[in-house]
């Protein structure tokens, strides 16, 4: 299964998390599902290091091999180097059988020979294998399996120590965080997860968040009943920054996959008016299915291109622009992004984000507030977007982000304890290394003037 998922990721540009969700059978044993997931995401996270180690024993690089052979070699070496409970002999033999099953039996001797040589090196330190002529960014890029350009820019932005901490976090298994939709059912959710062999623990940031280990919570009855959803804690926090009140008109402009909309809709209540928009009809359909699962009604779904004129006659009290972005804050959860992203795309995302954000501000009521957010850690997509929009719209001013204290975990309700989240410059930021969440950014802005 790991091979099939990786093949689709590489050949079709699919996202591993989505393909895994489709592929993992409900009746599959939890241990088998966990192993397939571990191999798939582990190979993607460590691809550069794996290829570097494999290239030592090949006449041509892994990238030049047939995709089937390259994937089998990576899967085999990942097991040898990173999975302690799989014997080396089994990892090699199963890889040989896998390349045969994939109709590349002619490559079986190569797979066998290369993996046996690689197996003899798994206890050796990595640094002596690095060529002495490599730059520091290249060395770190190989050892921590990130592209060199990304390492170089992060070192220039943050320094080497924080860059290493971030890459280390990106290569760790992320917490499987969930959001409880109704705190009254916390005990029911916890009990069923325990009966299913899973462990739950409180969130690090938010009162209604919890993390799960030991299985797939989406297979439980309490999940199917809509009592909770799977969502990173940083993502959970973003809609709370908007301060929606009962009766508000609310626009969730880039709403898919829909995880933030329920918070906005429940805060607006039955007297509010909530629009969730997205460019793609199939994503709106998937959102509707999620809203049905969590028993959310009254949200108006609208298909639109937010880069163009927005088709709304009336303005909104609150707008959320969770903009499409590079996703560099989600590299632990979506490791394939690090190999697909190119540095020039950051400027492209910036232009897209400015258009989306700028369009949204024109539909904000006087006195209304708008939150701009991304799951990126790059200034071009964050602070620089906010600055450009502010520079072209004098009626818009920036506010400091704020979070209702009752939504935070008790230890964060003291402002001094939450300084990492609510920075002195007025932005909201999370870090995979510091908060063990996805890396998110958010800013709150207001249209000046009073509501008539």
Q: Tokens 């059912």 correspond to what residue?
A: 185
Residues in the chain: 452
Strand locations in 352-449, DSSP E?
Answer: 364-374, 396-399, 428-429, 441-447
Question: What is the dihedral angle through the alpha carbons of 235, 241, 247, 249, rounded to the nearest 10 degrees?
Answer: -70
Distance CA 312, CA 254 (A): 15
Half-sphere exposure of 185 (CA within 13 A, CB side): 14
**Residue 452's pLDDT is what?**
39
**Residue 413's pLDDT is what?**
67
| 180: alpha, beta or left? (left if phi > 0; alpha if psi -120 to 50) | beta
Looking at domain 2-136, its CATH class is: mainly alpha
Positions annotated as catalytic residues are: 375
**Residue 27's pLDDT is what?**
75
Gyration radius of the chain over CA positions: 23
Tell me where in the chain the CATH 3.30.70.1170 domain(s) lie. Answer: 176-230
Report yes or no: 217 and 177 within 8 Å, Cβ to Cβ. Answer: no
- The yes/no answer on whether domain 238-447 falls in CATH 3.60.21.10 is no
Half-sphere exposure of 267 (CA within 13 A, CB side): 20
Got the DSSP string for 236-253? Answer: HHHHHTT---TT-EEEET
**Residue 339's pLDDT is what?**
98
Using DSSP's 3-state secondary structure scheme, residue 31 falls into helix
Would you state the structure tokens that stand for residue 366, as one six-digit string? Answer: 């006087």
| 335-353 pLDDT tens trace | 999 999 999 999 999 999 9
- Give pTM, 2 decimals: 0.94
Where does residue 393 rank: exposed (0-12), middle (13-18), buried (19+ CB within 10 A)? middle
Using DSSP's 3-state secondary structure scheme, residue 216 falls into coil
Tens digits of pLDDT across the chain (452 residues):
999 999 999 999 999 999 998 888 767 888 888 899 999 999 999 999 999 999 999 999 999 999 999 999 999 999 999 999 999 999 999 999 999 999 999 999 999 999 999 999 999 999 999 999 999 999 999 999 999 999 999 999 999 999 999 999 999 999 999 999 999 999 999 999 999 999 999 999 999 999 999 988 998 999 999 999 999 999 999 999 999 999 999 999 999 999 999 999 999 999 999 999 999 999 999 999 999 999 999 999 999 999 998 999 999 999 999 999 999 999 999 999 999 999 999 999 999 999 999 999 999 999 999 999 999 999 999 999 999 999 999 999 999 999 888 899 988 866 545 566 776 788 999 999 999 999 999 999 999 875 43
| 51-64 pLDDT tens trace | 999 999 999 999 99
Half-sphere exposure of 414 (CA within 13 A, CB side): 3
Distance CA 381, CA 354 (A): 9
Backbone angles phi, psi at 291, to 5 degrees: -65, -35
Distance CA 398, CA 384 (A): 13
Tell me where in the chain the CATH 3.40.50.150 domain(s) lie. Answer: 238-447
- The yes/no answer on whether domain 176-230 falls in CATH 3.40.50.1000 is no
Tell me where in the chain the CATH 1.10.940.10 domain(s) lie. Answer: 2-136
């Amino acid at each position: 299964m790991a091979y099939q998922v990786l093949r689709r990721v590489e050949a079709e540009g699919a996202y591993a998390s989505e393909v895994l969700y489709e592929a993992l059978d409900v009746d599959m044993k939890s241990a088998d599902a966990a192993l397939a997931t571990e191999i798939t995401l582990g190979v993607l996270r460590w691809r550069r290091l794996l290829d570097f180690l494999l290239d030592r024993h090949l006449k041509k690089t892994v990238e030049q091999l047939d995709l089937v052979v390259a994937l089998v070699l990576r899967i085999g070496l990942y097991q040898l180097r990173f999975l302690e409970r799989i014997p080396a002999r089994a990892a090699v033999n199963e890889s040989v059988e896998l390349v045969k099953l994939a109709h590349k039996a002619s490559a079986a001797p190569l797979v066998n020979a290369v993996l046996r040589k690689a197996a003899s090196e798994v206890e050796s330190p990595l640094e002596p294998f690095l060529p002495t002529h490599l730059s520091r960014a290249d060395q770190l890029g190989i050892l921590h399996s990130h592209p060199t350009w990304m390492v170089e820019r992060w070192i220039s932005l943050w320094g080497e120590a924080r860059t290493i901490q971030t890459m280390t976090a990106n290569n760790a298994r992320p917490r499987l965080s969930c959001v409880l939709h109704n705190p009254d059912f916390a005990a029911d959710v916890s009990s069923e997860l325990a009966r299913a062999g899973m462990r739950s623990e409180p969130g690090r940031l938010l009162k209604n968040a919890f993390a799960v280990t030991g299985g797939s919570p989406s297979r439980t009855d309490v999940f199917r009943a809509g009592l909770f959803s799977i969502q990173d804690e940083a993502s959970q926090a973003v809609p709370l920054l908007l301060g929606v009140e009962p009766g508000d008109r609310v626009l969730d402009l880039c709403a898919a996959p829909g995880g933030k909309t329920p918070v906005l809709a429940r805060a607006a209540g039955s007297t509010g008016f909530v629009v969730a928009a997205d460019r793609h009809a199939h994503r709106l359909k998937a959102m509707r299915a999620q809203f049905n699962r969590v028993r959310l009604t009254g949200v108006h779904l609208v298909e639109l291109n937010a880069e163009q004129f927005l088709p709304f006659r009336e303005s909104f009290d609150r707008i959320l622009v969770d903009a499409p972005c590079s996703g560099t804050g989600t590299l632990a959860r979506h490791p394939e992004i690090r190999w697909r992203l190119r540095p020039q795309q950051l400027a492209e995302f910036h232009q897209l984000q400015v258009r989306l954000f700028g369009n949204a501000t024109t539909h904000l009521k006087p006195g209304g507030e708008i939150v701009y957010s991304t799951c990126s850690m790059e200034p071009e997509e964050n602070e620089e977007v906010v600055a450009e929009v502010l520079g072209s719209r004098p009626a818009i001013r920036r506010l400091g982000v704020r979070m209702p204290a009752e939504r935070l975990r008790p230890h964060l309700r003291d402002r001094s304890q939450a300084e990492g989240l609510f920075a002195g410059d007025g932005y909201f930021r999370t870090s995979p290394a510091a908060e063990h969440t996805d890396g998110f950014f958010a800013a709150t802005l207001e249209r000046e003037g009073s509501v008539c």
